[in-house]
């Protein structure tokens, strides 16, 4: 039996038949194929079934999934956990107790990839101790040819590699991994259809994620995502609305709608329907908070602003990645908006939603960025007055147009620019937070603080972290908290009801 695995042989095939079969499913990814955007229609499959011979494959066994990257990956992990649970596996929080370990990877920057390769190396010892362990690599890194080749050549301890488009095939892939002598690789370069009704084991009972679309067609010149996630495909409004309703029925307090570029939602439909229409329907569902991420400024239309201005359960937080403050760099980045167009959008949003909290993503050190161009980023940051930002040093990604650009900016200069930007981000974050001192904010209580179990932690509608003392029974509820002290990244407050008790 392959690799000393102790599983019952399935009745259908001999090892020879399997070998033949693997040849047909082995598909090394190709960045070139991933670049093509086909006209073919995306089919939606509502039926998800597990083949009979794998139904109980995981009974008595445990799984562990390590997730890297964005919310999209976090949510994919919830789907994979759902599939594994359906197969009979149980979750474990200890890698060493697991019979299946999946690394759900991110390819956005080089350091994200390095972390994963470090972990793959580290798991070699565990695999040696426990040869029946199935070690799988999935997520965005596995969509890259170079990564798959490197694993094939240097990391034989990996049993299974699969991509972002074939998560629903996990039951079959696991079966192959148990019986194959070779590493099982199934990565589709081109996106597949939309699969509805996949099972999910969600991470908590308070906030839930709901995909509204998959993929990205923006092809910003520095970015790997359009290659790893395929073309833009929107889920049908009725399927999204039903999922949000279901979460509301289950008592969820908050839903975050997910997509790489949610403002392009509906552009692939043959009927007139966009994110504004969707939000206008979802706001009628009885759930206290609705968020969405991530926005691309280019497709952020007036209709959406108009709908968001209705407030209610649509929270006043918009994550609006700008990436850079200089129009020439924005052009080289392929962002299709200028500094002025972005500022105009911000002006419109602020006029319609006066208490809006704006956050952003910024890249420093894009190839050949000059000091003056970088300073444009600083001045734009100050002008918009973001509440916070994720800031990154540009990382060349193989196969993207920017990776071919010659770059004369030394890394030391890039690091120094990042530090200057972060100093500004911190300064303005504190400034913005100070405005909440002595104000009462609505907090969705998420749990105990990581640092101090006597303290509860939660989020405001604007996504600010609040710490305060209160009973555990408040977890999962909305409470009013009076902010006493603002810090750069958190607000410390007191429960308003407690204050009322004290003063009466």
Question: Is 228 an interacting residue with respect to ligand F3S (CB under 6 A)?
Answer: yes
Question: Is 227 an interacting residue with respect to ligand SAH (CB under 6 A)?
Answer: no
In whole angstroms, give the CA distance from residue 209 to residue 76.
Answer: 10
In whole angstroms, give the CA distance from residue 280 to residue 266.
Answer: 14
The residue number whose beta carbon is nearest to ligand F3S equals 69
Taking CB within 5 to 8 Å according to partner kind, which of ligand F3S, ligand SF4, ligand SAH, none is near residue 228? ligand F3S
Taking CB within 5 to 8 Å according to partner kind, which of ligand SF4, ligand F3S, ligand SAH, none is near residue 365? none
**Residue from 149, 129, 128 nearest 137 by CA:** 149
Per-position x/- string for 254-283, each x denoting binding to ligand SAH as judged by CB under 6 A, each - no binding:
------xx----------------------
Question: In the complex, which residues of this chain contact ligand SF4 (CB under 6 A)?
Answer: 216, 218-220, 223, 225-226, 260-261, 296
In whole angstroms, give the CA distance from residue 267 to residue 284.
Answer: 23
**Residue from 490, 468, 492, 464 nearest 479 by CA:** 468
What is the bridge-based pairing of β-strands 388-393 and 233-234? Answer: unpaired
Tokens 């073309």 sit at which residue? 231
Taking CB within 5 to 8 Å according to partner kind, which of ligand SAH, ligand SF4, ligand F3S, none is near residue 219? ligand SF4
Which residues, in sequence order, are CB contacts of 113 under 8 Å at separation 6+? 105, 106, 107, 141, 147
133 by DSSP, 3-state: which? Answer: coil
CB closer to ligand SAH, 157 vs 295: 295
CB closer to ligand SAH, 197 vs 419: 419
Beta bridge pairs of residue 457: 447, 467
The residue number whose beta carbon is nearest to ligand SAH equals 361
Give me the least distance between CB of 414 and ligand SAH, in Å please.
11
Q: Which of residues 126-145 bind ligand F3S (CB under 6 A)?
A: 139-140
Give me the least distance between CB of 257 and ligand F3S, in Å please.
15
Distant-in-sequence contacts of 111-115, Cβ < 8 A, 24+ apart: 111/395, 112/68, 112/69, 113/141, 113/147, 115/68
Go through 241-260 and write b for each residue having 16 or more CB atoms within 10 A of its CB, e for each that does not. Answer: bebbeebbeeebbbbbbbbb
How many secondary structure helices (H) and strands (E) does the chain include? 15, 21
Question: Is 403 an interacting residue with respect to ligand F3S (CB under 6 A)?
Answer: no
What are the φ and ψ backbone dihedral angles of 226, each rounded to 5 degrees? -60, -25
Site for ligand SAH (CB under 6 A): how many residues? 17
Q: Which of 22, 117, 374, 394 binds ligand SAH (CB under 6 A)?
A: 394
Where does this chain touch ligand F3S (CB under 6 A) — which range of 43-51, 65-73, 165-173, 397-405?
Answer: 65-73
Question: Is 359 an interacting residue with respect to ligand SAH (CB under 6 A)?
Answer: no
Token pair of 335, please? Answer: 């962002």
Beta bridge pairs of residue 137: 103, 161
What is the bridge-based pairing of β-strands 184-186 and 160-162? Answer: parallel
Beta bridge pairs of residue 491: 466, 486
Q: Which of 54, 65, 72, 444 binds ligand F3S (CB under 6 A)?
A: 72
CB closer to ligand SF4, 322 vs 428: 322
CB closer to ligand F3S, 107 vs 133: 107
Helix (H) or strand (E) holding 457: strand 455-459
Question: Is 264 an interacting residue with respect to ligand F3S (CB under 6 A)?
Answer: no
Give me the least distance between CB of 397 and ligand F3S, in Å please.
9
Which residues, in sequence order, are CB contacts of 502 under 8 Å at separation 6+? none
Taking CB within 5 to 8 Å according to partner kind, which of ligand F3S, ligand SAH, ligand SF4, none is near residue 73? ligand F3S
Question: Is 233 an interacting residue with respect to ligand SAH (CB under 6 A)?
Answer: no
Give me the least distance between CB of 224 and ligand SF4, in Å please.
8
Where does this chain touch ligand F3S (CB under 6 A) — which range of 16-24, 224-232, 242-250, 320-328?
Answer: 224-232
Where does this chain touch ligand F3S (CB under 6 A) — which range of 6-14, 70-78, 286-294, 304-312?
Answer: 70-78
CB closer to ligand SF4, 134 vs 216: 216
Q: Which of 188, 304, 353, 363 binds ligand SAH (CB under 6 A)?
A: 363
The neighbour count for residue 49, using CB atoms within 10 Å, is: 8
Question: Is 225 an interacting residue with respect to ligand F3S (CB under 6 A)?
Answer: yes
Question: Is 73 an interacting residue with respect to ligand F3S (CB under 6 A)?
Answer: yes
In whole angstroms, give the CA distance from residue 501 to residue 470.
Answer: 13
In whole angstroms, give the CA distance from residue 337 to residue 356.
Answer: 22
Per-position x/- string for 289-308, each x denoting binding to ligand SAH as judged by CB under 6 A, each - no binding:
-----x-x------------
Tokens 């794998």 sit at which residue? 54
Terminus-to-terminus CA distance in the chain, angstroms?
A: 75
In whole angstroms, give the CA distance from residue 458 to residue 479.
Answer: 9
Taking CB within 5 to 8 Å according to partner kind, which of ligand F3S, ligand SF4, ligand SAH, none is near residue 226? ligand SF4
Q: Evaluate the CA torsion angle 280, 285, 290, 295 in order and state its sign.
A: negative
The neighbour count for residue 347, using CB atoms within 10 Å, is: 11
Give me the least distance between CB of 478 and ligand SAH, in Å please.
29
Token pair of 217, please? Answer: 């067609």
Question: Is 206 an interacting residue with respect to ligand F3S (CB under 6 A)?
Answer: no
Residues of this chain that bind ligand SAH (CB under 6 A): 108-109, 222-223, 225, 260-261, 294, 296, 321, 323, 361, 363, 392, 394-395, 397
Binding residues for ligand F3S, per CB under 6 A? 69-70, 72-73, 106-108, 139-140, 224-225, 228-229
């Amino acid at each position: 039996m392959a690799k000393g695995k102790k599983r019952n042989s399935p009745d259908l095939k001999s090892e020879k038949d399997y070998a033949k079969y693997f040849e047909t499913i082995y598909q090394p990814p190709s960045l070139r194929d991933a670049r093509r955007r086909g006209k073919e229609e995306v089919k939606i499959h509502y039926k998800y079934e597990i083949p009979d011979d794998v139904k109980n494959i995981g009974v008595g066994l445990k799984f562990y999934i390590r997730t890297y990257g964005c919310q999209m990956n976090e949510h994919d992990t919830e789907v994979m956990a759902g599939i594994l649970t359906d197969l009979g596996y149980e979750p474990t929080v200890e890698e060493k107790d697991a019979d299946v370990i999946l690394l759900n990877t991110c390819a956005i920057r080089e350091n994200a990839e390095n972390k994963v390769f470090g972990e793959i190396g580290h798991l070699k010892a565990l695999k040696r101790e426990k040869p029946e362990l199935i070690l799988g690599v999935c997520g965005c890194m596995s969509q890259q040819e170079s990564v798959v080749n490197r694993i094939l050549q240097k990391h034989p301890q990996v049993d299974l590699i699969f991509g972002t488009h074939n998560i629903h095939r996990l039951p079959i892939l696991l079966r192959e991994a148990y019986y194959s002598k070779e590493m099982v690789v199934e990565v589709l370069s081109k996106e597949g259809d939309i699969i509805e009704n996949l099972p999910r084991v969600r991470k908590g009972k308070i906030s839930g994620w709901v995909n509204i679309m998959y993929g990205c067609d923006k092809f910003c010149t520095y970015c790997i995502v359009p290659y790893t996630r395929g073309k833009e495909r929107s889920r049908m409004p009725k399927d999204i609305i039903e999922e949000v309703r279901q979460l509301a029925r289950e008592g969820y307090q908050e839903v975050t709608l997910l997509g790489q570029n949610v403002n392009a939602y509906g552009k692939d439909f043959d009927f007139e329907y966009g994110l504004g229409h969707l939000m206008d329907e979802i706001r009628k569902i009885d759930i206290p908070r609705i968020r969405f991420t991530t926005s691309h400024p280019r497709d952020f239309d007036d209709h959406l602003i108009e709908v968001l201005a209705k407030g209610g359960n649509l929270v006043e937080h918009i994550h609006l990645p700008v990436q850079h403050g200089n129009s020439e760099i924005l052009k080289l980045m392929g962002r299709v908006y200028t500094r002025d167009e972005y500022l105009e959008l911000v002006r419109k949003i602020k006029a319609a939603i006066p208490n809006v909290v704006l956050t952003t993503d910024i890249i420093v050190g894009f190839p050949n960025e000059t000091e003056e161009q970088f300073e444009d980023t600083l001045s734009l940051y100050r002008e918009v007055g973001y509440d916070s930002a994720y800031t990154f040093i540009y990382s060349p990604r193989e196969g993207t147009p920017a990776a071919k650009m010659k770059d004369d900016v030394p890394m030391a200069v890039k690091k120094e620019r990042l530090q200057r930007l972060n100093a500004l981000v911190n300064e303005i974050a504190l400034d913005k937070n100070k405005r909440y001192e002595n104000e009462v904010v609505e907090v969705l209580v998420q749990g105990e603080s990581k640092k101090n179990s006597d303290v509860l932690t939660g989020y405001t509608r604007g996504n600010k972290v609040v710490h305060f003392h209160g009973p555990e029974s408040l977890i999962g509820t909305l409470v009013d908290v009076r902010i006493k002290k603002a810090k750069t990244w958190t607000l410390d407050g007191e429960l308003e009801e407690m204050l009322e008790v004290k003063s009466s």
